[in-house]
Amino acid sequence: METSMEELKQREAIIAACLEMNQSGLNQGTSGNISVRWGEGLLITPSGLPYRQMQPDDIVFLRMDGSYEGRNRPSSEWRFHRDIMASRPEVGAVVHAHPTYCTILSIQQREIPAIHYMIAAAGGPSIRCAPYATFGTEELSQNALEALEGRNACLLANHGMIATGPNLDKAMWLAVEVETLARQYVGCLQIGEPNILSDEEISRVLERFKDYGPRPKQADQA
C-alpha cells in the first residue's frame, strides 16, 4: 500500500523523536520506543533497529488486534503502546524510554511526589511507579495501565518510564519534564526529605495547566 504524504511525515517525525531521545540523554541505544496513533491502529518503532539506520519504511503499522504490516517486527513493547491507545482515546502518542533518573527511582520502586508544581503536567499529584513485570508481557501492560489511571505518565519498576500525549510533540515534552522531576527528586533525597505540595495546590495548578505545554506555531495573521 502506498504511503500518503501525511503518513510519511508521521513516520519521519517518529524517527526524529527517537534521535532526539538519544541525543538529549533521555534514552540509550535502542531501548526506547515510540508510537503515534494512525488510522485504525498505530505507527510504532521496529524492534532492535538502531535509530540512525531507521528509514520511514522501517516504522511498523500495528493494528489493534496485534497484527502488523511492514518489513520489521514491531517493538517488543508493542503491547502497552497498543493497550494505552485502545483504552485512552485522548492519547495520540506514547513515548517509552530508560532515562537515568527515572530508572533510578524505578529501581527503588518509588513514585515521584509533588515536589514541584510541574508534577501537574503528568496529570495529578504524583507520578506512580507500576509494579515490575517482564518486558513485553501482558502483565507489564496491565500494570502500566493501572499506574496511568488519571495520569499522563508513569514509571515502570526496574525498567524505565512512559509518557503520553495528544500528539508526539507533547508526549516528548512530557518525557523530558518527567525526567527533570526525577532528577530533582533524587537530588532532594541526597539532602533530606523534600517539602511536598498539597493535593489542593496541585488541583489549582491542574486548572491552570489545561492549555499548558508546547503548541503548534500559528501562521502569521494578516
Q: Is 206 helix (H, G, I), strand (E, B) or coil?
A: helix
| Residue 77 annotated to the active site | yes
The residue to which cell 514541584 is assigned = 116
CA distance 100 to 182: 9
**Which strand ranges, in their side-by-side order, compose the sheet holding 93-97?**
68-69, 60-63, 41-44, 33-38, 93-97, 160-165, 153-156, 129-130
Q: Which of 149, 150, 166 is nearest to 213 (CA)?
A: 166
Which H/E stretch holds residue 43?
strand 41-44
Q: Which of 182, 189, 23 is nearest to 101 (CA)?
A: 182
Q: Which of 47, 88, 48, 42 is nearest to 66 (CA)?
A: 42
CA distance 38 to 30: 22
Instruction: Let me know the angle formed at the C-alpha of 154 by 53 and 10, rounded to the nearest 5 degrees.
Output: 35
Type of residue at 181? L
Catalytic-labelled residue, pool 12, 40, 77, 177: 77
Positions marked active-site: 77
